[in-house]
Amino acid sequence: MFRYPILFLLSLVVFACNKPETPQLTVKGMKPIYVSESEFYDIKNREEQELQNTGGIYIWQQYFLIAEYKKGIHVYDRSNPSLPIYITFLNIPGCADYTISENTLFADNGFDVLSINIKDIKAIKLNKILKNATKNSRDQPPNYIGYFECHDPKKGYYIGWDSALLVNPGCRKLN
């Protein structure tokens, strides 16, 4: 009786070894840009940054906020709609979306959700990191169709995408 399970296990090993080799596919695509943990959680005010790959807009108090994809949030003073003034940049390296409740900004940062005190918008403070709170989200290059290297949390914290030549990319965006 005991020999049968052993034979079964042996056959599994044989099958595993016989798996055919996958052919190499080299294509142009996108790969994640990784940063260190300290860079990823470097939540602070910065001087004016360029508006580049911008996203969600928001008004709060006299301010107008614009998300900068995987970088942070631009803050303008909109008291005079004829002349909005750039106030500060909120450095949130993995941010894509955010909202505000009174004096607290909630933002995603990669797969995390952050609570940030913005009572003084020029002197923000990180309250809490909720690790992996949004890990259900699809993690794909935005506005892009084609092959990309899947994001691998083991390689570090990713803050965006770069074009690259990929070998056997594991991910592909179809629409």
Query: Amino acid letter at 111?
Result: F
Is residue 77 involved in binding another protein (CB under 8 A)?
no
Q: Decide: 128 and 114 in contact? Cβ < 8 Å.
A: yes
CB nearer to another protein: give 11 or 131: 131
Q: Does 134 bind another protein (CB under 8 A)?
A: yes
Distance CA 156, CA 166 (A): 19
Helix (H) or strand (E) holding 50: none
# binding residues, another protein (CB under 8 A) = 43
Closest approach, Cβ 60 to another protein, in A, equals 3
Among residues 44, 115, 146, 171, the one that binds another protein under rule CB under 8 A: 115
Q: Does 18 bind another protein (CB under 8 A)?
A: no
60 binds another protein (CB under 8 A): yes
Specify the stretch interacting with another protein by CB under 8 A; choose among 19-27, 39-47, 82-90, 149-157: 82-90
Q: Nearest 5°: phi and psi at 136?
A: -75, -20
- Chain-centroid distance of CA 127 in Å reads 20
- Which residues 6+ apart lie within 8 Å of 63 measured at CB? 75, 76, 77, 78, 87, 121
Q: Which of 78, 160, 164, 171 binds another protein (CB under 8 A)?
A: 78
Among 84, 146, 156, 160, binds another protein (CB under 8 A): 84
Tell whether residue 150 is a contact of another protein (CB under 8 A): no
Query: In this chain, which of 10, 25, 145, 167 binds another protein, going by CB under 8 A?
Result: 145
**Alpha helices (runs of H) in 18-123, residue ranges in sequence order:** 37-40
Non-local CB neighbours of 43 within 8 Å, separated by 6+ positions: 90, 91, 92, 114, 116, 124, 125, 126
Residues lying near another protein in the complex (CB under 8 A): 50-52, 54, 56-61, 64, 66, 76, 78, 81-84, 97-104, 106, 108, 113, 115, 117, 127-128, 130, 133-138, 143, 145, 175
